[in-house]
Structures are given as C-alpha cells and as structure tokens.
C-alpha cells in the first residue's frame, strides 16, 4: 500500500475514534446517567478532559492531515517534482507525534481514574471509597457506593472505553510516524516509483 493511501486509511479510522472518545468523556459528566446535583460529585479525572481534548480535539488535526495526504498534488519545489509529497509526509510525522501525545494523555488519565475509582455517596458523605484499584477484583465492594445509582459500572465502562480507544489511537499515530518516514525518504508511488511503477498514490 502506498504511503498516501495508508495515511488516508489511518485518518479515516481516527476520526470516529475521536468522536467516540469525546462522547464518552461527555457522558462521564452525568454520573450514572443522571445530572449531578453538584460539580463536586463528578470524579476529578473527568474534569481533565482526557477524551475531549487529548483523544478528541488533538486527534482531529492529525486525522485531517492524514486524510489530505493521498490527494496531495505533488506540486514540487525547486524543480523537484516529488519534493512537495516528501515535505507533506514529513509534516505528517509531526502531526502524528501530536496525536500520540494527545492519546497518551487520555490513556494516562483513564488509567488513573480506573485505579482510583469514582466519587460517590456511601450514605453519610461523598468520598472516594476505593484504593489502588481494589474494587476491580471484588464486585461486592461496589455496594459501598449508594448513590449515584450504578456509578461504579458507569465509571468503569466509560473510562475503560477511553483507555482502549486512546491506546488504539496511539498505535495508529505510531504507524503513521513509520509510514511518514517511508514517504519522506521514498516519496510516493507516482513521484519515485518506490511502490511499484506508476501505481496510484
């Protein structure tokens, strides 16, 4: 597969992942699927906007750049026809690095949130009743949280989704770093024939 086509495939995959991460983060602002009575009743890590900023906004820019690489017209520079494509692929490495940072931020925030557990009411006060992920292997401990209803599975499911999706995003951006290096060194199929003659970009 040529470098431009590979980048477009990666960009096409990153956009829905970015949207899903944004939606998951937004849902976390509604503990147990209900509007919180007080902002202090929302888990701290939700306010770090890992899914909205890290895997959302910061991921849209790399995705759009990747999508545009296939249609780069290889306009060239300094009399070198393939120079434009090579520069575009090089710039995609920088955007891919931004994507890795964004996805990494979301991944770390999600991992911390899962380990820490949600804030909830145990019947007398609002607190973080779990320590060091101890509730993950003991579902009976979930009964400690009396409200909001179903807050533990809600918290765990959404942050786990953010963890997995941000991990996938980081891998895809990492692939584009390698793909971009090939594109920078070799150019695209049409310009330098590295992918086999005059095949499509």
Structure confidence at residue 86 (pLDDT): 78
DSSP 127: E
What was the pLDDT predicted at 187? 64
pLDDT at 141: 96
User: Residue-wise pLDDT tens for the chain (201 aa)?
Assistant: 477 788 889 999 999 999 999 999 999 999 999 999 999 999 999 999 999 999 999 999 999 999 987 665 444 444 455 556 778 888 899 999 999 999 999 999 999 999 999 999 999 999 999 989 999 999 999 999 999 999 999 999 999 999 999 999 999 999 999 998 988 887 655 444 433 444 444
What's the pLDDT at 184?
83
Which CB contacts under 8 angstroms, 24+ apart, belong to 39-47? Answer: 40/119, 40/126, 41/119, 41/121, 41/126, 41/148, 42/119, 43/113, 43/116, 43/118, 43/119, 43/155, 44/119, 45/109, 45/110, 45/112, 45/113, 45/116, 45/159, 46/113
């Amino acid at each position: 597969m040529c470098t431009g086509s590979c980048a477009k495939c990666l960009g096409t995959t990153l956009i829905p992942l970015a949207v899903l991460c944004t939606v998951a983060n937004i849902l976390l602002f509604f503990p147990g699927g209900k509007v919180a009575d007080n902002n202090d009743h929302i888990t701290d890590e939700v306010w770090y906007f890992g899914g909205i900023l890290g895997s959302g906004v910061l991921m849209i820019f790399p995705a759009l750049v990747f999508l545009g690489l296939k249609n780069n017209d290889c306009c060239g520079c300094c009399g070198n026809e393939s120079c434009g494509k090579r520069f575009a692929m090089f710039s995609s490495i920088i955007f891919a690095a931004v994507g890795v940072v964004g996805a990494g931020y979301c991944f770390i925030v999600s991992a911390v949130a899962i380990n820490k557990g949600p804030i909830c009411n145990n019947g007398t006060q609002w607190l973080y009743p779990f320590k060091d992920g101890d509730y993950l292997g003991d579902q009976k401990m979930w009964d400690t949280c009396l409200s909001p209803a179903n807050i533990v599975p809600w918290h765990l499911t959404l942050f786990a989704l953010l963890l997995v999706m941000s991990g996938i995003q980081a891998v895809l951006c990492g692939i584009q770093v390698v793909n971009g290096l090939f594109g920078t060194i070799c150019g695209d199929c049409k310009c330098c024939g590295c992918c086999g003659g005059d095949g499509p970009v």
